[in-house]
Structure 1
Amino acid sequence: MARKNILFIMCDQLRFDYLGCAGHPSIKTPNIDALAARGVQFSNAYCQSPICGPSRMSVYTGRYVSSNGAHSNFAPLRIGERNIGHHLNPLGVRTVLVGKTHMKPDTEGMQRLGIDPESDIGVNHAQAGFEAYERDDGIHPDTMVRPGLPYNEYLKSKGYGEDSNPWHWAANSVETEQGVRSGFFNDRVDLAARVSDEDSETPYMTRRAMDFLAEDDGETPWLLHLSYIKPHWPYVAPAPYNDMYSADDVIPAVKSDAELEDTNPLMKHFMERVAGKTFGRDEAREKVIPVYMGLITQIDDQLGILFDFMQQRDLLENTMIVFTSDHGDYMGDHWMGDKDYFHNPSVKVPLIISDPQSEADATRGTTDASLVELIDLLPTFVEYYGGEIPYNILEGRSLLPKLHGDTPEWRDFVISEYDYSCQVFRPETGKEPLECRSYMVATKDWKYVHAPGYPPVLFDLKNDPDEMTDLGRNPDHEDIRQSMFKRLGNWSLHYRQRETWSEPHNIKMTGMEEKLGVLIGYWDENDAKGKDPKILPRRKPNTTT
């Protein structure tokens, strides 16, 4: 294999269980299913925060949220953090973006250090280490849209220019009897988007990815991050995807009335958000979920087009394909909507990796139930391209050995974090922003949630896989709670900041003081017997007269 490439596909807000290969009974995802048949499906993959920005910053840095500091949407990633470009560009790899990153640059940090935002360093930081072939973070209400957005300019060129923001009023709105209805309101999202399938976001971004691939020089290795905006809200789909599925395809919500009794106070705040109240109603689920499923099938159809395009250019034989999502979507499960808390519909993600190398032949079409974190992707990329993994910086583990059929020693728990300081309910908690942190630690059998100032949450995943019964205050499970809290505590004490001092350098520096002749605590020369004579102080003759 002369060179290696990576197609790194990330969807936004795609649940782990809304794929045919993941067991959904009616959704049509044949191209993603075929990808799983060519690779490994990781069935216990978790994001490091169940919200867009922090999850992605963990992916792009290979570090936990509490390590990289980007705790919330629109929270800047500090200028000193190494990103995906820092790790892969020195290996000769172009890191290219088409789509979303949710990256917010540290403009204050750049100003403090005298870094010009337009310089190579400033641009690299602002784009999380990617060459932005086309960046579009995908949420553009009228209050946020920026002039010259390429997708808006494209829509205007196609005749959707009756408004200055066709992203909102064409691609993410519908036409009703009373006029145009914004897709931010869910009551009419069963209607088709006001754009054609061809002109909607997913096909547009797929074509932009193909534009980049058409320019491929055939020599330079690349990682192309195709980061789709959907099936994230607004849940609006063009025809035929808006009514491809019906209420008959909607799986009953995973919830019970018992969850509303003596609910953990912090969990209750999430249930009482507007999205929780909306998706707590069957009417809303039966209206929205078929459209959500249609958006997923549209992504699958576009991936089929993309894979065919790559096949025609002989790119599949040397390209690793990674398919995942930044987090999930509650869709009414546990009386919640959107994401942000730690039940599996929100914090678990799909993850499929197809490695073209012959070493991966033995694992094709298999499912791996190991506990995987999204921060494992960057170490996997580094090893795939032949680099040395800097474990003093990257906190994940390479999945390449697993793809090649090896059985390396592996973690027995995963971590996810969430900072709720920007939630609309934060003032009701009486807590200041620095107090609003929460942590999840999960093994294959147990899930534990710690939020300072609130009772713990505990789920028995072995006997209660749907997470219906919170054992966080059950007196019979104190030992388990203490065991899980200890795991969280041990994780929190891991080295996080030894970034400038690699493990090989640390080994080299072991005992360096004595090697340099700095002898501490010796009584006399007899204690130093056996030491290298060159490092021993020479006795000077008495020159006193």
Structure 2
Amino acid sequence: MTQRPNFLFIITDQHRADHLGCGGNPIVRTPNIDGLAARGTMWDRFYVANPICMPNRASIMTGRMCSAHGARHNGIPLSRDHTTFVELLRDAGYSTGLIGKSHLQSFTGLPATNRFEPAEGLHAPSPHLRDAIKNNRHTAEYDLEVAPKWDKPLAERTGGDFYGFEHVEVAADHGDQASGDYLLWARQQRADFDQLVGPDNALPDNRITAPQAWRTAVPEELYCTSWIAERSAAWLTERAADDAPFFLQMSFPDPHHPFTPPGRYWDMYDPADIALPDSFGQGDLPPLRAMRQALAAGTDPRDNQNPFAVTEDEARAIIALTYGMITMIDDAIGRVLTRLEALGLAENTVVIFTSDHGDYMGDHGLMLKLLLHYQSIIRVPFIWHDPATPAQGRIDPGLASSIDIAPTILARAGIQPYNGIQGRDLWSAPPPEAVIVEEDSQRAMTGFDRPQRVRTVVTDRHRMSLREGEDWHELYDLAADPGEMQNLYDASEGQPARQALTEIMLRRMIALQDRSPLPAYRA
């Protein structure tokens, strides 16, 4: 029997496709990730199923769109009733490990933004009948990642199975405010660790000033990125003496905000060297105008998860700090790859690199994510390096999606996928004519008077986004306008493409309708 491959699945957080050297970035230094791309295949048109953490991570785990698995937004956990590809790997004899960020369940512990409100004058259903789905994911088994309740390791609370992972060491949240198992470890290393984190404990630095940015007092060796690399290398060392193949998900919470690269990574890049995107300050969509006005008036808090407008200096500073976080991740990946080689495991280990979504990073003058499906937040890196079939830096131009990761890994492992998986094996199935991106927000944000429901279709040439309840939509010719600055949705010259894309979008959404469950009997 042919030896089954191992898998090292590396995922970063809020990392756009062009924030890598191999992605065409001339400044950020990522030699280890670039090396994977040089020995493997990199997809140029790889898109998320949803540009938000929890929904897209659930889509990666299931190979299904959010409209199928139900985790539509942060705050809605992935149901344990939904099968993950990691469960199939474990079922086939793989050792499975997760080290770093999970975010398949909520970790803030904050109250829900949307609740069932009994209507006056009407009989309110009993609590167990207030949702269309009775297993509404509000039970204790879906509170396992809540950071304020994290008083002992997650592994002690899972019974040896967390969505298919038998080994878990998890970091919740981001930057120097990361928590979970990582925080338990950090406190063991230094009794005063809590006095090192956060803006109130930050080291002085007069050179960089930007929202959600501070020079952390946490040393490099205690920062979450270092912990994830150290624990991953340790887990791989244990696997070297094991005959079973393995799947390790090494998941970094950075380069997500807050922007707190530690030590030398804080000032590794000079904001003065950062070129702003051509689209900075451009675009006339209603929310863009509103966010710029809020910036000028000083009315936008800019200290939470919502997108916000920035000045040119703020954009350069944030991008420079993000590059520092990315290079720290690359250095950490390099250490793990070196360990993999030293253990004699590299020749039979498929290494995969991606991110859960991107970040505006100054595009149109914005930061963070949500609501506007520019390429910077929906297009992410995807690299596949398989020592058995080296590709020598091949670039795949075909459309691909986060839902394709699960079936591609299963196919390489020689495992039949479950009924209802919606992605394709990237190596054996042709690219679709379009990919769909879904987003269902839970609250109103600057520039919007209601939560948004957005559906986007991307083809080889165009991106079109439609919104429920709004009188404006978007259509861009990506070939002629890669910065997405000229909205053609209502323009006369855009009508042929609008008509064609509407039909393409409908066909693709029909193809993605759920095929689970299987029928209980034959007709």
Q: Does structure 2 conserve the Cα–Cα contact (< 8 Å) formed by 1:160 and 1:166?
A: no
Residue 322 of structure 1, CA deviation: 0.3
Change (3 A) 1:116 1:53: closer
For residues 424-479 of structure 1, give each alpha carbon's deviation from its aligned partner in whole angstroms, at most 9, with x where no partner exists.
359x52x4x6xx31011011111000112222200001111111111111122222
Q: Does structure 1 conserve the Cα–Cα contact (< 8 Å) formed by 2:307 and 2:368?
A: no
Q: Does structure 1 conserve the Cα–Cα contact (< 8 Å) formed by 2:169 and 2:182?
A: no
Where do 5+ consecutive residues of structure 2 fail to align? 107-130, 145-154, 295-299
Residue 152 of structure 1, CA deviation: 2.2
Q: Does structure 2 conserve the Cα–Cα contact (< 8 Å) formed by 1:110 and 1:116?
A: no
Corresponding residue SS for 1:303:
helix
Q: Partners in 1 of 2:261 and 2:29 — Cα distance?
A: 15
Cross-structure match for 2:350: 320
Cross-structure match for 2:271: 247
Q: Does structure 2 conserve the Cα–Cα contact (< 8 Å) formed by 1:459 and 1:469?
A: yes
Structure 2 counterpart of 1:134, one-letter code: E
Cross-structure match for 2:49: 48
Cross-structure match for 1:131: 166
Corresponding residue SS for 2:250:
strand
Residue 409 of structure 1, CA deviation: 2.8
**TM-score, scaled relative to structure 2:** 0.82
Corresponding residue SS for 1:311:
helix
* Bigger helix share: 1
Q: Partners in 1 of 2:212 and 2:417 — Cα distance?
A: 49
Q: Partners in 2 of 1:230 and 1:289 — Cα distance?
A: 13
Q: Partners in 1 of 2:191 and 2:14 — Cα distance?
A: 27
Residue 398 of structure 1, CA deviation: 0.8
Structure showing greater relative contact order (alpha-carbon pairs closer than 8 Å, 6 or more residues apart):
2
Report matched runs for 1:235-274 at 5 Å. Answer: 235-255=259-279, 259-260=283-284, 263=285, 265=286
Cross-structure match for 2:122: none
Q: Does structure 2 conserve the Cα–Cα contact (< 8 Å) formed by 1:99 and 1:226?
A: yes
Change (3 A) 1:38 1:473: same
Cross-structure match for 2:152: none
Change (3 A) 1:13 1:65: same
Q: Does structure 1 conserve the Cα–Cα contact (< 8 Å) formed by 2:175 and 2:260?
A: no
Matched, 1:386 2:410: no
For residues 203-237 of structure 1, give each alpha carbon's deviation from its aligned partner in whole angstroms, at most 9, with x where no partner exists.
11100111111111331111100000111111111
For residues 495-515 of structure 1, give each alpha carbon's deviation from its aligned partner in whole angstroms, at most 9, with x where no partner exists.
63332329xx9xxx9xx66xx
The two structures, once aligned, show a CA RMSD in angstroms of 3.4
For residues 324-372 of structure 1, give each alpha carbon's deviation from its aligned partner in whole angstroms, at most 9, with x where no partner exists.
1011111121122101121011110011100122xx23x2311111101
Cross-structure match for 1:194: 217
Corresponding residue SS for 2:331:
helix
Cross-structure match for 1:206: 229
Residue 103 of structure 1, CA deviation: 1.1
Cross-structure match for 1:424: 445
Cross-structure match for 1:293: 323
Structure 1 counterpart of 2:368, one-letter code: D
Corresponding residue SS for 1:16:
coil
Of the structure 1 ranges 415-424 and 232-241, higher mean CA displacement relative to structure 2 is found in 415-424
Cross-structure match for 1:484: 501
Equivalent of 2:383, from 337, 352, 358?
352
Residue 159 of structure 1, CA deviation: 2.8
Q: Partners in 2 of 1:385 and 1:374 — Cα distance?
A: 18
Percent identity of equivalent pairs: 29
Q: Does structure 2 conserve the Cα–Cα contact (< 8 Å) formed by 1:84 and 1:130?
A: no
Cross-structure match for 1:398: 425
Structure 2 counterpart of 1:400, one-letter code: W
Corresponding residue SS for 1:205:
helix
Change (3 A) 1:212 1:108: farther
Q: Partners in 2 of 1:420 and 1:441 — Cα distance?
A: 18
Structure 1 counterpart of 2:348, one-letter code: N
Q: Partners in 2 of 1:438 and 1:155 — Cα distance?
A: 40
Q: Partners in 1 of 2:142 and 2:252 — Cα distance?
A: 30
Where do 5+ consecutive residues of structure 1 fail to align? 402-407, 514-545
Q: Partners in 2 of 1:117 and 1:278 — Cα distance?
A: 30
Change (3 A) 1:300 1:110: same
Q: Partners in 2 of 1:342 and 1:111 — Cα distance?
A: 28
Residue 380 of structure 1, CA deviation: 0.7
Cross-structure match for 1:528: none
Change (3 A) 1:52 1:111: closer
Report matched runs for 1:465-544 at 5 Å. Answer: 465-494=482-511, 496-501=513-518
Which entry has the higher C-alpha Rg, 1 or 2? 1
Number of residues of Structure 1 aligned to a counterpart in Structure 2: 475
Q: Partners in 1 of 2:225 and 2:349 — Cα distance?
A: 21
Q: Does structure 1 conserve the Cα–Cα contact (< 8 Å) formed by 2:77 and 2:104?
A: yes
Cross-structure match for 1:233: 257
Equivalent of 1:334, from 335, 351, 364?
364
Residue 123 of structure 1, CA deviation: 4.0
Q: Does structure 2 conserve the Cα–Cα contact (< 8 Å) formed by 1:79 and 1:110?
A: no
Structure 1 counterpart of 2:230, one-letter code: R
**TM-score, scaled relative to structure 1:** 0.79
Structure 1 counterpart of 2:480, one-letter code: N
Structure 1 counterpart of 2:171, one-letter code: D
Q: Does structure 2 conserve the Cα–Cα contact (< 8 Å) formed by 1:151 and 1:167?
A: no
Q: Does structure 1 conserve the Cα–Cα contact (< 8 Å) formed by 2:175 and 2:253?
A: no
Matched, 1:78 2:79: yes
Q: Does structure 2 conserve the Cα–Cα contact (< 8 Å) formed by 1:277 and 1:335?
A: no
Cross-structure match for 1:374: 402
